[in-house]
Amino acid sequence: MSRTILSLLLMICTLGGFAQTQEVPANIKVTDDYKLIMHAYAKGVQVYICTQDPKDTSRYVWTFSEPRANLYAAVNYRKLIGKHYLNPAKKPTWESTDGSTISGAKLQQADSPDSTAIPWLLLKGITPGGTGKFIPVVFIQRINTQGGKAPATADGQHKGQLLEQPYTAEYLFYTKK
């Protein structure tokens, strides 16, 4: 009986660690003058293309091309609430199922605690479109990223090829109080 209780306690402690959110670094925090209006869970891919390194043309690198992700209301990824992509002006854009859009311009970035994950970001909301949830957005945070990072090495055999790196992230949308 005591072994069963001990096992259950260990399992609860272990699972509790997975539910905790990492501390948001100071350089990407949003000030108290703003309030959270939407919290979305993204699941998709970061797309890269293999190109010659502009600094050393004898080398090849994976160059970011675009994000493609669905946005969900909860971490169980069941209720679709939007999508994330690059707009024709090559700006990261979030589109709600209500038709509204907001694009972003990067202000700050912080390394993810997970070395295999894309960085955490703070973006300024720019060029809102349509009518709906995203119209009043002033700031967007990308936090709790998993995956999505390009491989550190590339070679000429992959020149021009696309690589889709699966990722998840949380996007938080803020407006003025």
Distance CA 55, CA 175 (A): 40
pLDDT tens column, 65-123: 999 999 999 999 999 999 999 999 999 999 999 999 999 999 999 999 999 999 999 99
Please report the pLDDT score of residue 22 as a whole number: 78
Spatial contact of 84 and 92, defined as CB atoms under 8 Å apart: yes
Sorting pLDDT into bands at 50, 70 and 90, what band is 14? very low
Judge whether 145 lies within some domain: yes
Work out the number of other CB atoms within 10 angstroms of the CB of residue 16.
Answer: 9
Spatial contact of 85 and 93, defined as CB atoms under 8 Å apart: yes
pLDDT at residue 17 greater than cutoff 80: no
pLDDT at residue 9 greater than cutoff 60: no
Please report the pLDDT score of residue 117 as a whole number: 98
Per the structure, the count of domains in the chain is: 1
Spatial contact of 147 and 43, defined as CB atoms under 8 Å apart: no
Judge whether 147 lies within some domain: yes
- To which residue do tokens 């096992």 refer? 7
Judge whether 12 lies within some domain: no
Spatial contact of 28 and 109, defined as CB atoms under 8 Å apart: yes
**CA-based torsion, 99, 66, 77, 38: positive or negative:** negative
- To which residue do tokens 């992509």 refer? 85
H helix runs in the chain, sequence order: 2-19
Sorting pLDDT into bands at 50, 70 and 90, what band is 21? low
- To which residue do tokens 């589109």 refer? 95
Burial class (CB in 10 A: 0-12, 13-18, 19+), 40: buried
Q: For residue 92, what are the β-bridge partners?
A: 86
pLDDT tens column, 31-65: 999 999 999 999 999 999 999 999 999 999 999 99
Judge whether 17 lies within some domain: no
pLDDT tens column, 124-170: 999 999 999 999 999 999 999 999 999 999 999 999 999 999 999 99
Judge whether 7 lies within some domain: no
Judge whether 92 lies within some domain: yes
Please give the residue range of the domain that contains residue 82.
37-176
Residue type at 21 in one-letter notation: T
Judge whether 16 lies within some domain: no
Work out the number of other CB atoms within 10 angstroms of the CB of residue 114.
Answer: 14
Tell how strand 162-176 and strand 56-72 pair up. Answer: unpaired
